[in-house]
Structure 1
Amino acid sequence: MSEIRIARRQLLQSTLALGGLAALGGLAAGCSNEGRGDAGSQAENSAVALPTYIPYAGFTADLPGENGVSDTMLTYPADPQPLTDGPPGDGQDVSAFALTNNPVPPAMDQNAFWQELNERLGFTLSVSLVPSGDYTDRFQTTVAGDRLPDLFTFWPKGIPGLPSLLRERAADLTDLLSGDAIEKYPFLASIPTESWKSSVYGGRIYGIPIARGAQSSVVLYGRYDLLEEQGIDPAAQSWDDLYSMFAELSSTNTWALANVPLQIIRQSFGVPNGWSVDGDTWVSAYEDERQLDVLEAGRKLVADSLVHPDTTSADNQQRQAWTIAGTTRFVEDTFSAWPAFANLSGDQDVDLNVILPPLAEGGGMAPIWRAAPTHNLTGISLKSADRAEALLDVLNYLAAPFGSSEHLFKNYGLEGVHHTLVDGDPVLNDKGKSETQLALRYLAEGPWVTYMPGRPDIAQSLYDVQTEAVPTAIANPSSTLFSETESRKGPQIGSALSDLEVDILQGRKPVSAWTDAVATWKQDGGDAMRDEFAAAAEG
């Protein structure tokens, strides 16, 4: 079994960069990451009675999480028992359209896990999988062609006119989920209230949230074993220290970085997460004068050949593979992405680190940026509205809590076929790693639990570094507020700045071009977003 671990070092916060060299998470998407409503108001959204929060009482964590840190398990509970009584749904087949960050699994007729899943469900679940980097375009094409299946996943940001789209194409779930109505679906009721806020559009509930919160905060994983071989201490006291380390690590056919870590640079230099708020005054992080220093620092990394030259054409899986292979020393990803590294490493002995960002000028650790409470949502097609209760029952089944037999099978398949029990822990084999990747965790999932089968040391390390970093992480103040302008224009005007970032980092445009571009962004909608968020915050 692989000997990967996470050393408890300082954590480099960086970007997932699904779309290219300069992906910026909440910033690149148009600053706000939760625009909702449809010619309605924040008051309408706030007036909705969100589902009552009812934590599952049958689960006790080995390491309870607090202040945004996830509960952590060092071993899987013994003798998992079923928590549902019979197959979910109405017996009719269910189709789904879902995003994935993993290789597409074998087809149903060649996939023992998929076949057993259908047997347990009592119907055929057909899942059409789309890589996350292509998902927004494919989703919009599917909607335009009126081809949405029974269930579909979507992000609460980055889709123009999402509120209107949902009103016209998605089932209104408000009466089925609002308040105590959620009690009919107890595993969905265990989803935290903060994440449900992202399901409300135009004063109605349109989706089931996948709650990740801090788990979706991006970090920079590093190959500490390779650093140790070169006698390099990854502890850094300033941005200059980090740059010097990156320069020392890069040589012919090896590079320090899988892409430009603009988010870690922004955190190091003190740029706000999306927006800053002083009293009633909202200011976009785009306008922060330190952005020019950030872009210059990123441009220098590329100019000095410290970043893999193929990063703009690679996806995140390729960047992960570069780092596991030792081609790059650091790769950006999320806390929740750790199993992907384990899958890629196989039997290799790989030692990963997580390093917290230093203040650029020195003097301590910079706070990281906390991700939005909701990773994605699952909606029900309006054409399937007459089956909404049955489909919610299916989603409730898929959200069964950690430690149940339903959860065990959903994540680890069949013992002896997809996993082997090692001291009671279900460790996936190659067949399991391949066949179980049906994106079920993006369709429905209970609260995140940090757990690494057979590797309690990794789970402990993740818990430790999150305990250090997450309670002081900076949230985006717009994350649960409505802006009609952000929903309609945010992706478009934000992508113009994202494209400019790439040009600046590649040396095609000067850093000074940023100032005029931000002025255009403000004129084209940024100032309207500011005013709308400020009004929404007042209630």
Structure 2
Amino acid sequence: MPDIRTTGRQPSRRNVLFGGLGVGAFALLAAAGCSNEGRGGVGAVSAAQNSSVLPKYIPYTGVPMDIKGADGVPDTMLKYPASPKKATSGQPGDGEDVGVFVMTNTPAPPKLEKNAYWQELNERLGFGLSVALTPSGDYSDRFQTTVAGDQLPDIFAMFSGDIPGLPSLLEERAVDLTEYLAGDAVAKYPFLANIPTESWQSCVYNGKVFAVPVPRGPAQSMVMYARQDYFESEGIDPQVTSFEEFYDLCKELSGGNTWALGRVPLGFIRQMYEIPNGWSEAGGTLTSANLHERQQDALEAARRLVADGFVHPDGVTAAQPQRKTWLVNGTIRFLDDTFSAWPDFSNYPLGEGFQLAVVPPPLAEGGGTAGIHMGPQVQNITSISAKSADRVEALLDVINYLAAPFGTEEHMFKTYGVEGVHYELDGTDPVPTEKGRTEVQLGLKYVVEGPWVNFQAGDPSVAQAEHDAQAAVVPSAVKNPASGLFSDTASRKGGQIGEKLGAVETDILAGRQKVGAWQPAAEAWAKGGGDKIRAELEKALADRKKTEG
């Protein structure tokens, strides 16, 4: 089997990818269905109710990509451009200080007075940037407390799926950005115009643009990572063609202090059984994946993996960094995570020859390959406070500056800081220092970001492998037809009814309830709010189709 991390040619589908897709073990279902949609997904995000308000897509061409993406696959850079050039002139904004409220998934950085990166950032901006960081797990509660106290700063980020009644909140608390960004108007902010149209659908509520997106595209799709180097060294062919072959492989890989799986790959198994990505649609009618006829088959298959000891016993409660450590040290052989997590493995103590690969799931009974579930297009969205309406153009200028595309001098600094302090060059690639790993974590990538680009500093083979894997699975990925549609019921009750259904799922996987418990629980989910969510999404879908022609 060829080494896909080091060969530049386009490998075959079989050689590039093996392993599986997974949403996670014992995970609660998404509020509106079995979905990869995440916190900004189905039932939480507005449809673009009038396509004419969407900003025009004007791709930035100032930095040529090493591999241009196609069919939904992101661009890829094998090396960071040498001597990145500035893409802006002058300093953004109006010279007045700016406050930002944003989430973080990393430890808090040093405060301004002890943070050389933050100080240099303010110098470049020409004003003081005040950043209020909150861990993402606490963000929803903190956001609502901030809103209730009327303490939103100039710019604030949101996980839209966590906010009940979001359209009304935005009407009251955020600036309507339509006249500044709709259609050709966005050309004034070229880095925002560089964000694909599909991502902007998550920012339109009541026919108005109220936010800017943090696009991710297929980078948020879940895939099963496999230790390619292990399989090659053992002479094992991990390319399975059915669930039973996958089961047999997991059995072969498990024993002693080794397990095949870091957690139950229920998403992977559901894809094997061709269960939809959240919702399916036919003639404008939506059906929740919760009610799909093969759900019990998928749950029974997943339950067997748990009962027969193929899943790490601590996999349910362990954090994902711990599971990654297990994959790196050989405790497990497969682990599900997003495409965006691939570069993160470089932060772990990798042994010589460490290699990863992914594979699309086979159909459960054999005879072909199932499609992966496409992840949400948007990580989160960011708005401008209504209290700062008199500065809207200056604040959009700041947001545009922070959205500088990959390969520009502005992006290099925002992402990596100052050479010799926060990173060292490996050829032309910026490799973070310890100081860089702590000081640069201001959460700016959750304020706004340009389109996702596959890149791994110091190791082009990782970016190449990620591109090859995406090229094999993204064009055929299964999208959620309700993605980007808003349901008020889902924003208010979706979490509650989803938790009840998720608890039954957990009990089934753990053997505390029979698989037959799923169907009545799914029907209760529908009666308890799921049917109302469906009706609201169907109306939003019909409105979208009318306005889009």
Question: Would the TM-score normalized by the shorter structure come out above 0.5?
Answer: yes
Corresponding residue of 2:530: 526
Name the structure 2 match of 1:156.
160
Partner of 1:27: 33
1:288 aligns with 2:292: yes
1:472-491 aligned at under 5 Å gives the runs: 472-491=476-495
Deviations 1:27-73 (A, max 9, x none): 357989344689xxx6x822651112111121322111111000111
Contact 1:268/1:366 (CA < 8 Å) preserved in 2? Answer: yes
Preserved contact between residue 89 and residue 394 of structure 1 (Cα < 8 Å): yes
Indicate if the aligned counterparts of 2:19 and 2:334 stay in contact, CA closer than 8 A: no
Letter in 1 for 2:22: S
Residue 278 of structure 1 and its aligned partner are, at CA, apart by 2.3
One-letter code aligned to 1:86: G
Partners of 2:168 and 2:144 lie apart in 1 by 13
The answer as to 2:247 corresponding to 1:243 is yes
> Could you say which residue in structure 2 is the equivalent of 1:93?
97
Q: Does 1:187 align with 2:154?
A: no
CA–CA separation in structure 2 for the residues paired with 1:504 and 1:124: 53
Q: In structure 2, do the counterparts of structure 1 residues 264 and 211 end up closer, same or farther at CA, with 3 Å as the change threshold?
A: same
Tell me the residue number matched to 2:501: 497
Q: CA deviation at 1:457?
A: 1.4
In the aligned structure 2, how far is the partner of 1:436 from the partner of 1:55? Answer: 27
Instruction: Give the structure 1 partner of residue 11 of structure 2.
Output: none
Q: Which of residues 221, 227, 251 is equivalent to 1:223?
A: 227
Match of 2:333 in 1: 329
What is the CA distance between 1:535 and its match in structure 2?
3.1
Q: C-alpha separation between the residues in 2 aligned to 1:290 and 1:139?
A: 38
CA contact (8 A) 2:227 2:333 kept: yes
SS at match of 1:471: coil
Q: Could you tell me which of 383, 388, 392 is aligned with 1:388?
A: 392
Partner SS state of residue 336, structure 2: strand
Gap runs ≥5 in structure 2: 7-14
> Deviation digits for residues 71-118 of structure 1, max 9, x if unmatched?
111112222111112221222222322223334333333332222222
- 2:26 maps to amino acid: L
> Aligned to 2:297, what secondary structure does the other structure show?
helix
Q: Secondary structure at the match of 2:430?
A: strand
Tell me by how many angstroms 1:348 deviates: 6.0
Q: Which runs of 5+ in 1 are unaligned?
A: none
Offset at residue 5 of structure 1 (A): 4.5
Report sequence identity in percent. 53
> Per-residue deviation at 1:23?
4.3
Q: How does 1:14-93 map to 2 (within 5 A)?
A: 14-15=22-23, 17=24, 21-24=26-29, 27-28=33-34, 33-35=41-43, 45-46=49-50, 49-93=53-97
1:404-443 matched pairs, under 5 angstroms:
404-443=408-447
The DSSP-based 3-state class of the residue aligned with 1:508 is coil
Q: What is the rounded CA distance, in whole Å, between the counterparts of 2:348 and 2:4 in structure 1?
A: 11
**Selected match of 1:299 from 303, 307, 324:** 303
The aligned residue for residue 317 of structure 1 is 321
Cα distance change on mapping 1:308 and 1:347 into 2, 3 Å:
closer
Greater Cα shift, 508-517 or 209-218:
508-517
Q: 2 CA distance for matches of 1:208 and 1:370?
A: 21
| Structure 1 residue corresponding to 2:106, chosen from 99, 102, 113 | 102
Question: Are residue 10 (structure 1) and residue 18 (structure 2) matched?
Answer: yes
Cα distance between partner residues in 2 of 1:447 and 1:360? 35
Match for 1:154: what amino acid? M
The offset of 1:207, in angstroms, is 1.1
Aligned to 2:190, what secondary structure does the other structure show? coil
Partners in 2 of 1:292 and 1:149 — Cα distance?
47
Deviation at 1:383, TM superposition (A): 2.8
> Partners of 1:106 and 1:325 in 2: how far apart?
31
Is the CA contact 1:159–1:491 (under 8 Å) kept in the aligned structure 2? no
Contact 2:28 2:498 in 1 (8 A): no
Shift, 1:366, TM fit: 1.0
Q: What TM-score, normalized to structure 1?
A: 0.91
After alignment, is 423-432 or 191-200 more displaced?
Answer: 423-432
**Alpha-carbon distance in 2 for matches of 1:312, 1:37:** 29
What's 1:205 paired with?
209
SS at match of 1:194: helix
| Distance of aligned partners of 1:326 and 1:151 in 2 relative to their CA distance in 1, 3 Å threshold | farther
Q: Residue deviations 1:206-261, cap 9 Å, x none?
A: 21101111111011112223344444322111112222222222233333222211
Deviations 1:261-294 (A, max 9, x none): 1111111111011111222432111111111111
Q: 1:285 to 1:56 in 2, by over 3 A?
A: same
Q: 1:344 aligns with which of 333, 344, 348?
A: 348
Structure 2 residue matching 1:421: 3-state secondary structure: strand
RMSD across aligned positions (CA)? 2.6
State the shift of 1:486 in Å.
2.7
1:314-369 deviation line (CA, Å, top 9, x unaligned): 33233223322333322221111222211223676522221221111111211111
Q: 1:353 to 1:127 in 2, by over 3 A?
A: same
Check conservation: 2:224, 2:358, Cα contact below 8 A: yes
Q: In structure 2, what is the Cα distance between the partners aligned to 1:333 and 1:254?
A: 19
2:36 touches 2:277 (CA, 8 Å); kept in 1? no
The residue type paired with residue 524 of structure 1 is G
- Tell me if structure 1 keeps the 8 A contact 2:343–2:462: no
